[in-house]
A and B are shown apart, each in its own frame.
Chain A
Amino acid sequence: MSKDKFTTLKSTAVPIATENIDTDQIIPARFLKATTREGFGDNLFRDWRYDANNQPIADFVLNNPTYSGKVLVGGKNFGCGSSREHAAWAIYDFGFRVVVSSFFADIFKNNALNNGLLPVVVPDSFLKKLFDAISKDPKTLIDVNLPEQTISFNNEKEKFEINIYKKECLINGYDDIDYLLSLTKEIKEFDLTH
């Protein structure tokens, strides 16, 4: 089933320089009760974004009009914890198309890729420069090129790794089920003999 395609993106970014951002922060469990994929963006980072009276917390970056864009930049070990795909849905639904970090938790990375959200892994030193650049100038443009597997801003440029199959899926808007369904005959044989 086709998803949104991704090739290149040029955008400003929203920085959250916290490490170990777990999926409970991205979308708390009490907002996982919906049975569809839509609307989770409203509760993205809910408890960092709103206080107990549902009032926006002014100094949180998503409430700060200085920062905007389709790129989310997070600290090391982004997306750890619960396997909830709702975290990837919430980030996408909010309008992000790329998440940059020096390290992603495995399940989150898969979930992001399965939803057309590109996780870009960069070295710690590059991540630090990126945070510094955004903090100095929130209008800093970040260039992400999936076919070339590069991310750049100002005079900085870095290659990033991505599985070639996942890259093809993102560029063409394919998903894993399309591929697995093409293996139905082999899978049925395996099922009968195991």
Chain B
Amino acid sequence: MNSEAKTIFEKIWDGHVVKRVAGYPDAVFIDRHFIHEVTSPQAFDGLRKRGIKVFNTSRTTATADHNVPTKDQHLPIKEALSRHQVETLRTNCKEFGVELYDLGHPYQGIVHIIGPELGLTLPGMTIVCGDSHTSTHGAFGSVAFGIGTSEVEQVLATQCILQGKPKTMKIEINGKLGKGVVSKDIILYIISKISASGATGYFVEYGGDAIRSLSMEARMTICNMSIEMGARGGLIAPDDTTFNYIKGRKFAPQGKAFDEAVERWKGLVSDTGAKYDVELKFDAGDIAPMITYGTNPGMGMKVTDRIPTVNELKELSEANSFKKSLEYMGLEQGTALLGKPVDYVFIGSCTNARIEDLRSVAQIVKGKKKAANVEVWVIPGSKQVEAQAKEEGLDKVFEAAGFELRSPGCSACLGMNEDKVPPGKYCISTSNRNFEGRQGPKSRTFLASPLSAAAAAITGKVTDVREIL
């Protein structure tokens, strides 16, 4: 065994350490910094107070996504505080010379969707953003993680972050995925197995042939939800699927520079014999369409299963939190969710609002109509996704089905704008969090794949998508 063998994570991390002092967190250089309106204003204020500039504006990209309306984006934002926050981003980007893809810009969209589609996200990079779902970018074989606003200020000021090196975890999924099972089901399955805190303190590498067979869009969905099991981030070693996705993208290396980059990127694999602190293996054949029933993403099950009872919990100490969660959801332990009527269907978010997600929804609903009891929102992840969907005629499919295709933003994933699920209502959602009140005060969320969400939109209830495929 080679003692020098390194994981891909260690290669990237160690290759970006500017200064390592024993007992101190590493000073890690950041290649790409994404910012948005909600977690940046206080960081810019900090720079002003210190009288310093942004260290390297060419490594910083801004967009407005969390707090923007998804209707009438060409008009001034109605809500005063939201308008002020987006205007503050504008003023800050102008003052500090940061590129901003503002509302109306053809590149605007959810920050974790636009980075990859613009070729700003590349293998081997260190990437941060003041948003926990920055882990999405790990799908390209990069070390990407979410940070707080004080850290946003650090990166703006110094292009570095002080950070303890996480432990490493490998999660392998081998075998063939069954009909109707997609990447969202894989990640909901993993989280249901290891819990919402099962990977806290770790950086995850996903591997195995079931992961290798996935498209970039599908890989992004998996890496995106790494944070939902507490992981610092999650990545997948780059391969031809990655290189083909990047080729020709706006800010990616072009021509000869691209070919040279690919040669470098091919070295981004974990060495044979590289050690992980934890290694887990799962069989793709055991994964079915998944759904959550509780108020954290670890509370998930196969859509055909029933909700566990208190006695079936792995840890009895969790009984009170479990009961509180089911009470919030208005559900009974030991019962099935299949057939449970839903009120809203939300197709969107940095987890599942890419063109492939919209295509898979369209494939299910084409020629059908939504059930009368549901309201369906389709929020594309970016202006580019929106344009592509229209070019492919998906907008017509959605319109005919009675779905509302709106403009890009984070929308009802976190209910910061006006897209909120009303109190007590059930929403089947392609987003990433089913926390209490996440989609609006007292809203109740079932997390599921775009296929399962589309199926529920048609039937008006929790459905096993395999029955209509």
Please give the residue numbers on chain A whose beta carbons come within 8 Å of chain B beta carbons, in ascending order.
Answer: 1, 17-20, 22, 24-25, 28-30, 32-37, 47, 52, 75-77, 80-86, 88, 103, 105-107, 110-111, 114-115, 124, 163-166, 175-177, 179-181, 183-184, 186-187, 190-191, 194
Contact = CB atoms under 8 A, between A and B. Distances in A.
A191 B88 contact: no
B27 interface: yes
A52 B154 contact: no
A180 B45 contact: no
A187 B318 contact: no
B148 interface: yes
B334 interface: no
| Chain B binding surface, main DSSP class | loop
Given A25-B435, A33-B67, A52 B200 contact: no
Contact of A83 (B42, B146, B153): B146
Interface stretch (B214-222, B267-275, B277-285, B437-445): B437-445
Interface of B: 16, 18-19, 21, 23-25, 27, 29, 31, 38-39, 41-42, 45-46, 49-50, 52, 55-56, 66-67, 81-82, 84-85, 88, 130-132, 146-151, 153-154, 157-160, 162-164, 166, 196-197, 200-201, 227, 230, 232, 296, 298, 317-318, 320-321, 324, 414-416, 423, 433, 435-438, 441-442
A177 B153 contact: yes
B56 A191 contact: yes
B18 A190 contact: yes
B81 A33 contact: yes
A75 B38 contact: no
A114 B148 contact: yes
A30 B415 contact: yes
Given A47-B436, A163-B25, A183-B158, A20 B321 contact: yes
Q: Which of B31, B50, B151 has the most chain A CB within a 10 Å cutoff?
A: B151
Contacts of A85: 39, 42, 130, 148-150
Contacts of B414: 24, 29, 82
A37 B146 CA distance: 19
Contacts of A187: 18, 27, 29, 55, 158-160
B321 A18 contact: yes
A180 B321 contact: no
Given A36-B41, A111-B149, A177-B153, 13 more contacts: A24-B435, A75-B321, A77-B230, A83-B146, A85-B39, A107-B132, A110-B147, A165-B24, A165-B162, A175-B150, A176-B151, A179-B162, A194-B31
Contacts of B85: 33, 35
Contacts of B436: 24-25, 47
B153 A33 contact: no
Contacts of B232: 106
A75 B317 CA distance: 10
